[in-house]
Amino acid sequence: MRFVDEFRDAEKAQALAAQITALCEPGRQYKLMEVCGGHTHTIYKHGIDDYLPESITLVHGPGCPVCVIPMGRVDDAISIAEQPDVILTTFGDMMRVPGGQGSFFDSKAKGADIRMVYSPLDALKVARRNPDKRVVFMAIGFETTAPSTAMTVLRAASEGIENFSIFCNHVTIIPAIKAILDSPDLRLDGFIGPGHVSTVIGCRPYDFISAQHAKPLVCAGFEPLDILQSVYMIMGQLAAGRAEVENQYSRVVPWEGNPKALGVISEVMELRPYFEWRGLGFISHSALKVRDSYAAFDAERIFEVPGVRVTDPKACQCGEVLKGVIKPWECKVFGTACTPETPIGTCMVSSEGACAAYYNFGRFSRDRVKEAIRT
Amino acid sequence: MCLGIPGEVVELLSDQPDLATVEVSGVRRSINVGLLENEVVSPGDWVLIHVGFALSKIDEEEARAALEFLEGIGQAYDEELRALQESGIDGP
């Protein structure tokens, strides 16, 4: 099932693809990174790669919040869950993420009380209903999700709910993009900017990408045509020798972001000096922790957290996938030892992870790729 | 968890000013609209919903296009919708 068969605007897409091709400089190779996991999902679901000229490669970035959580943080959360009278609550995506000592599912099977929730407010509700338990919310996500966690802490504070805390693993997108731009492994020509993160942070924080690195970034929506149009806008900038931040998704993303959302994040949370990202290593000022004024809601201060650093399994190349250095199917264990049912790496766990997107929509196995190259 | 899904505001709850009832693909649920404090939200408006919170107001045309797209992506949206359905952030 491919883009052209199913997409209602196939003609528009073809026209855009032709315009994109016309903007390519003969002999030049282009690498564009889509930062957001939601975009990766769309790209594979609709085979957008097939629409682009061969000289343009779409590279997947680090914008899947589940994928960037290092194994040690999963172990830390499990250690909290296994303490007396604790209920750990988490988004469903986290359940199968492997830590060094197994996943949340494994820990639950051994008797820990770990529950899936849709919203941090559901976690707060669990706390209200279980006053004799200590309810911890495993908070993950970029700036899209952090305001919701912050609002929930504010709510807990105003209601005086004392048995609720968060294990804060919120990360921020800009330092990750900086780390990728500084990485010697990869030469990128431009960025397809994240859509929903930008509804919160707006477009201004990306200015350094154009100003200091002379590369275009276009904030993009999630439909196939949005992505093609964003590629067209990036290619137009490159052809004209421009490097600017543009907003293809202006019907949803306000240029200034959501000031209220930014306000509640900074009321409740502050930047950590550093945080470990799976595959990217330690990045300065790249994650959030609970401020002193809300210490009563900070699981890291309430519980003893081992904080052990766990090295990723040798076979797993999620790090290279998250940095866009390799394609998912180039990983040694892709589709063989590592599948969505039995993931080794986080990129195979979340439906927004690049490996899961490839596996679910492309089903490339290494043998098939070899075969394709041979024929 | 990362999906943003559009919902139509059907009712604002006067006793709980942060909450609104929205309809998403036929499912009615309460969501928190506290992050839209700087904007006026009224029944008939469309909002982008993420983990139980409205992140931004969106226009109806965008909302319908996004919904059509999401309904086409299958599993990830079905899971998100089921999770929203099971969620009940309003009551105690």
Closest residue of chain A to B48, computed from CA coordinates: A252
Please name every residue paired with B20 in a beta bridge, in sequence order, or none if there are none. Answer: B12, B31
Q: What percent of chain A has pLDDT over 90?
A: 62
Report the gap between the CA of B34 and the closest CA in chain A (Å): 8
Report the gap between the CA of A52 and the closest CA in chain B (Å): 21
The pTM score is 0.89
Choose among A119, A125, A129: nearest Cβ to B51.
A119
Contact at 8 Å (CB) between A114 and A90?
yes
Tell me the mean pLDDT in the region A30-52.
88
Task: Indicate the pLDDT class of residue A294, thresholds 50, 70 and 90.
Answer: very high
pLDDT attached to residue A13? 85
Q: Which residue has the tokens 């970034």?
A: A217
Query: pLDDT of A231-268, one tens digit each?
Result: 999 999 999 999 999 999 988 899 999 999 999 999 99
Choose among B48, B76, B89: nearest Cβ to A351.
B76
Mean pLDDT of chain B: 83
A27 φ/ψ angles, rounded to the nearest 5 degrees = 85, -10
Is the pLDDT confidence value at A5 over 50? no
Tell me the mean pLDDT in the region A277-296.
94
Q: Provide the token pair at A178.
A: 């900086």
Query: In a mutagenesis test of the A interface, which of B16, B35, B58, B90 is the best target, namely the one with the most A β-carbons within 10 Å?
Result: B35
Please name every residue paired with A345 in a beta bridge, in sequence order, or none if there are none. Answer: none
**Range of lowest pLDDT (A39-43, A229-233, B6-10):** A39-43
Mode of pairing for the β-strands spanning B27-32 and B19-24: antiparallel
Q: Is B35 on the interface with A (CB under 8 A)?
A: yes
The ipTM estimated for the assembled molecules is 0.86
Is the pLDDT confidence value at A1 over 50? no
Cβ–Cβ below 8 Å for B2 and A264: no
Task: Indicate the pLDDT class of residue B91, thresholds 50, 70 and 90.
Answer: low
Separation between Cα atoms, residue B45 and residue A39, nearest integer Å: 26
pLDDT attached to residue B92? 54
Query: pLDDT of A201-234, one tens digit each?
Result: 999 999 999 999 999 999 999 888 899 999 999 9
**Range of lowest pLDDT (A297-301, B25-29, B51-55):** B25-29
A169 φ/ψ angles, rounded to the nearest 5 degrees = -125, 25
The SS3 call for residue A283 is strand
**Range of lowest pLDDT (A130-139, A176-185, A314-323, A355-364):** A355-364
The SS3 call for residue A285 is coil
Please name the residues in contact with B57: beta carbons below 8 A apart, sequence gap of 6 or more.
B36, B39, B41, B45, B46, B47, B48
Please name the residues in contact with A160: beta carbons below 8 A apart, sequence gap of 6 or more.
none
Separation between Cα atoms, residue A328 and residue A361, nearest integer Å: 12
Tell me the mean pLDDT in the region A90-116.
93
**Of residues A79, A123, A114, the one with CA closest to residue A96:** A114
Task: Indicate the pLDDT class of residue A174, thresholds 50, 70 and 90.
Answer: very high
Task: Indicate the pLDDT class of residue A368, thresholds 50, 70 and 90.
Answer: low
pLDDT attached to residue A375? 45
Separation between Cα atoms, residue A196 and residue A339, nearest integer Å: 28
Report the gap between the CA of A26 and the closest CA in chain B (Å): 35
Of the ranges A13-22, A137-146, A308-317, the best mean pLDDT one: A137-146
**CA dist B11 to A21, A226, B31, B44, B56, Å?**
48, 31, 11, 9, 17
Query: In a mutagenesis test of the B interface, which of A43, A116, A118 is the best target, namely the one with the most B β-carbons within 10 Å?
Result: A118
Task: Indicate the pLDDT class of residue A125, thresholds 50, 70 and 90.
Answer: very high
Query: pLDDT of A60-80, one tens digit each?
Result: 888 888 888 999 999 999 999
Is the pLDDT confidence value at A163 over 70? yes
Cβ–Cβ below 8 Å for B73 and A41: yes
- The CB-based long-range contact list for A172-175 (8 Å cut-off, 24+ gap) reads A172/A142, A172/A143, A172/A271, A172/A285, A172/A286, A172/A287, A172/A288, A173/A35, A173/A63, A173/A142, A173/A143, A173/A197, A173/A201, A174/A201, A174/A205, A174/A206, A174/A208, A175/A283, A175/A284, A175/A285, A175/A286
Sign of CA pseudo-dihedral A3, A192, A148, A355 = positive
Contact at 8 Å (CB) between A224 and A13?
yes
**Of residues A68, A138, A78, the one with CA closest to residue A282:** A68
Query: In a mutagenesis test of the B interface, which of A351, A359, A360, A361 is the best target, namely the one with the most B β-carbons within 10 Å?
Result: A351
pLDDT attached to residue A210? 96
Report the gap between the CA of A240 and the closest CA in chain B (Å): 30
Q: Provide the token pair at A313.
A: 């399994």
Cβ–Cβ below 8 Å for A260 and B35: yes
pLDDT attached to residue B14? 77
| Concatenated DSSP letters of chain B | ----EEEEEEEE-TTSTTEEEEEETTEEEEEE-GGGTTS---TT-EEEEETTEEEEEE-HHHHHHHHHHHHHHTHHHHHHHHHHHH---S--
The CA radius of gyration of chain A, in Å to the nearest whole number, is: 21
Is the pLDDT confidence value at B1 over 60? no
Contact at 8 Å (CB) between B19 and B30?
yes
A·B CB contacts under 8 A: 118
Q: Is B27 on the interface with A (CB under 8 A)?
A: no
Query: pLDDT of B81-90, one tens digit each?
Result: 777 777 776 6
Tell me the mean pLDDT in the region A342-361.
83
Cβ–Cβ below 8 Å for B3 and A38: yes
Cβ–Cβ below 8 Å for B2 and A196: yes
Q: What burial class does residue A351 get, using C-beta atoms within 10 Å of its C-beta: 0-12 exposed, 13-18 middle, 19+ buried? A: buried
Q: Is B41 on the interface with A (CB under 8 A)?
A: no
Report the gap between the CA of B58 and the closest CA in chain A (Å): 6
Contact at 8 Å (CB) between A234 and A209?
no
Mean pLDDT of chain A: 90
Tell me the mean pLDDT in the region B9-17.
86
Q: Which amino acid is at B41?
A: V
Q: In A, which residues are within 8 Å of B72 by CB distance?
A: 6
**Range of lowest pLDDT (A161-175, A282-296, A339-353):** A339-353
Q: Which residue has the tokens 């839209």?
A: B36
Q: What percent of chain A has pLDDT over 70?
A: 94
Please calculate the CA angle A15-A251-B13 and round it to the nearest 5 degrees: 145
pLDDT attached to residue A3? 41
The CA radius of gyration of chain B, in Å to the nearest whole number, is: 12
